[in-house]
Structure 1
Amino acid sequence: MATELGTPGIGGLDEVVDALRRWQRDEAPLQLHPGDLGWYRRRGARACAAAVRTWRRQGRVLAVGLLDGPGLLRLTTAPEAEHDEELARSVVEDAARPERGVLGAGAVYVEAPTGSLVQDLLAERGWHADESWTPLRRDLAEPVEDPGLRIEVAGPERARAWAAVHRSAFEGSAFTASHWHAMAGGTPFTDARCLLAYDERDTAVAAVAVWSAGPGRPGLLEPMGVHRDHRRRGHGAAVTRAAAAALRRLGSSGALVCTPSARTAAVATYRAAGFRLLPERRDRRRDALPASARADRPGA
C-alpha cells in the first residue's frame, strides 16, 4: 500500500500527539517527543498544525515530522516502522522535493533518530552530516536529590514571571505570557509542568518546562534556562534536578534533554544534575538546489 503525506489540521493534532506518546521508549535513540509539539504550540494551534507532517498507510500514522524553524524537519517513525523501506523512501523523497510542501529549495536539514533507515537513505542521496548534538538522559527509578532552591510550579498566575526568565535566558527570545497561555492550551500540556526556581532573596533565577509522555515512558526537558543576571551559581543544575523530580512524580521512566555539542557549558550543567551522555547525533543537510533542479510549488 502507498504511503500518503498529509497535514493533520488543528482537529488532528491530538491524534499525532497520542502517536508520539506511544512511540517513546527508553531503549530508543532520542526522537521527536510530544513535548516538542507542546513547546511549538506556544505559536498557537493553527501554526502548530501547519508545521506538522504525517505519513500514513491505510489511514494509520507511521511517521511524524515537525517543521521546527526555517528549513528544519524533525522526524520520527513508529517503532515497528523503523526499518520499513517503502516508508523511509517516501519520507526522503517528500523531503527532497520542494513541490511536495515539506522542505524548500534552499539549504535544509532533517533530524531523524540515529541509526534510522531515513538517515541512511539521506546519506545515500548526498545529504551531509551537519551540526553535532548531545543527548543526555537521567534514569528516574530512584528519587532525585533536593535541588537546593525553592521550586514553584508556574501556572497562569506565574506566566509572566516564567516568560520573563525565559526571555532573559535566551538571547532574542520574544516569549510572553500570551505565548505561555497558547502553549498551555494544547493537549501535550496536560502532562507538562513549568517550574520556576527562586534564590534565597526570593528572586526567580531559572525556568524549565517538562513534558511527560505518560507513565513508564521517558519525559523531556524543553526548554531550560537561567536568568542572565544569575548565572554561574549552580542554578541551572538545580532547576534541572527539580525538572527530573517533577517528571518522576508524573510517572516518567527517565528524563531526556538534548543540546548542541558546542554548548559545553550546557552539557556540563546537565551532567552536574545527574544526566549521562548518550551517543552524539548529527542532523542531515542538503545545500540549496540549483535553479535547474527546482520545481515550482503549487500556488507559488
Structure 2
Amino acid sequence: MTIVLNEPGVAGLTGAVDALRAWQDDRTPLQLHPGDLGWAWARGAERLAAAVRTWSVDGRIVAVGFLDAPDLLRLTTAPELRQDEDLARRLRADLDDPEHGVLPPGRVGLEVPDGALLREVLMQTGWNLDEPWTPLRHDLAEPVEVSGLRVEVVGPETARARTAVHRSAFGSPRFTEESWHVLAAGPVYADARCLIGYDDQDRAVAAVTVWSAGPGKPGLLEPLGVHADHRGRGHGTAISIAAATALREMGASSALVCTPSSNTAAIATYRAAGFEPSPERLDLSRAA
C-alpha cells in the first residue's frame, strides 16, 4: 500500500480529529485522544495545525501524530493496522529522517500505544524505553458518587475564574481568558465541558476540562488542577469525581487520565476518586 505523509493544515484538522474519535476504545488505555487536540486548540488553529501530521492510504487517515513539544511526538494509528509491517516501517523512516518534517535531529521522545509494531521496529534501530506513565480508568457503567464540591459548567461569564484556577494550579501564565475563548470556539469543544469546583465559601478551588469521543467511547480528563492556595483538602479528588460524572452524562464508557508514574500524589488522588490504574506504559526516546 502507498502511505502518504501530510501536514493537514487548518482545513484538515477536523479529519484528524474524526480519525482519532473513531479509534478510541477501552482496550487501549493510553493513546492520542481527540481531546488532546481539542485542548491544544487554545493555542490557535494555525499553531495546532503546524504540530499535526497524518499518514493516509488512498485518502483514508491511518495514523495521526501530534507534536506536543518540538521534540515530543504523540502518535497513534488505526487499531487494525497496529501490527502492519508496511505502516510501521514507513513511520520509522519518517520519524528518523528530519528532512521528512516530523521530528528534528537529536534527542526526541515518542508516545505510541502498547501493542504497536512500531515500538519493536524503533527499538531494533536504536530507540530506547524512556519515561514511565500510569494510565488510570474510571468505568462509567454505574453512577458515580457525589463529588462534595459545588460544580458549575464554565461559560463565557466564568472563563476568568476557570483560567485563574489553571494558572495557579500549573504555575503557568499562558492559559488566559482569551485562550479559553479560542478553545471554546474550536470544533472539538462541542464534545467537551469545562468544570469549576467551588468550596463552601464559594471560592473557585479546582477546575477540569473533559472531552468526549462520542457515546460508548472513553472520555478524557485534560487538564485538571487545584488552586495552589487550596491544596491538601480533597478538592482534586472531588473535581475528578465531578469529571467522571460529566463524562457519564455525555455517554462516555469510561473516563481516562494519565500521569507520570513519578507523580504519586496525582495517582493517589485519582485512585481516591474511583480511577483504577492500568499497567505502566513507557515512552520511547532517540538519543542525540
Using structure 2 for the length normalisation, give the TM-score. Answer: 0.98
Residue 240 of structure 1: aligned partner: 240
Superposed displacement of residue 6, structure 1: 0.5
Q: What is the deviation of 1:3?
A: 0.7
Corresponding residue of 1:96: 96
Q: Is the 8 A contact 1:29 1:114 kept in 2?
A: no
What runs of 5+ residues in structure 1 fail to find an aligned partner?
Answer: 289-300
What does the per-residue CA deviation read over 1:91-125, in whole Å, with 9 as the maximum and x for residues that have no partner? 11101111110000121011000121111111111
**Residue 231 (structure 1) aligns with:** 231
Q: CA RMSD in A?
A: 0.8
Q: Which amino acid aligns with 2:133?
A: W
Indicate the residue corresponding to 1:213 in structure 2. 213
Counterpart in 2 of 1:252?
252
Aligned to 1:121: 121
1:111 maps to: 111
Matching residue's letter, 1:148: G
Task: State whether structure 2 residue 49 is matched by structure 1 residue 49.
Answer: yes
Asked if the contact 2:192/2:209 (under 8 Å) is kept, the reply is yes
Deviation at 1:56, TM superposition (A): 0.6
SS at match of 2:14: helix
String of CA shifts for 1:205-236, please: whole Å, max 9, x gaps.
00000000000000000000000000000000
Instruction: Please give the alpha-carbon distance, in whole angstroms, between the structure 2 residues aligned to 1:287 and 1:247.
Output: 39
Q: CA deviation at 1:174?
A: 1.8
- TM alignment of 1:1-300, pairs within 5 A: 1-288=1-288
Segment drifting more, 114-123 vs 131-140:
114-123
SS at match of 2:255: strand
Q: Which residue identity is paired with 2:166?
A: H
SS at match of 1:201: coil
- Give SS of 1:114's match: coil
What is the alpha-carbon distance in structure 2 between the residues aligned to residue 151 and residue 104 of structure 1?
Answer: 43
Query: What is the identity percentage for the equivalent residue pairs of Structure 1 and Structure 2?
Result: 62
**Contact 1:73-1:103 at 8 Å conserved across structures:** yes
2:271 corresponds to which letter in structure 1?
R
1:173 CA drift (Å):
4.2
Looking at structure 2, the residues matched to 30 and 144 of structure 1 have their Cα atoms a distance apart, in angstroms, of 22
Distance 1:80 1:55 in 2: 15
| One-letter amino acid of the counterpart of residue 150, structure 1 | R
Say whether the 8 Å CA contact 1:215–1:251 is kept in structure 2: yes
1:248-277: per-residue Cα shift (whole Å, max 9, x none)? Answer: 000000000000000000000000000001
Gaps of 5+ in 2: none
1:115 corresponds to which letter in structure 2? G
Instruction: Render the CA deviation track for 1:9-55: whole Å, top value 9, x for unaligned.
Output: 11111111111111001112311000000011110000111110000
| 2: CA distance, partners of 1:99 / 1:108 | 15
TM-score, normalised with respect to structure 1: 0.95
Structure 1 counterpart of 2:155, one-letter code: G
- 2:193 and 2:209 in contact (8 A); partners too: yes
Distance in 1 between residues matched to 2:92 and 2:210, nearest whole Å: 31
Kindly indicate whether the alpha-carbon contact (under 8 Å) linking 1:53 and 1:66 is maintained by their aligned counterparts in 2.
Answer: yes
Cα separation, 2, equivalents of 1:164 and 1:150 = 17
SS in 1 for 2:69: coil
Give distance in 1, aligned partners of 2:29 and 2:165: 31
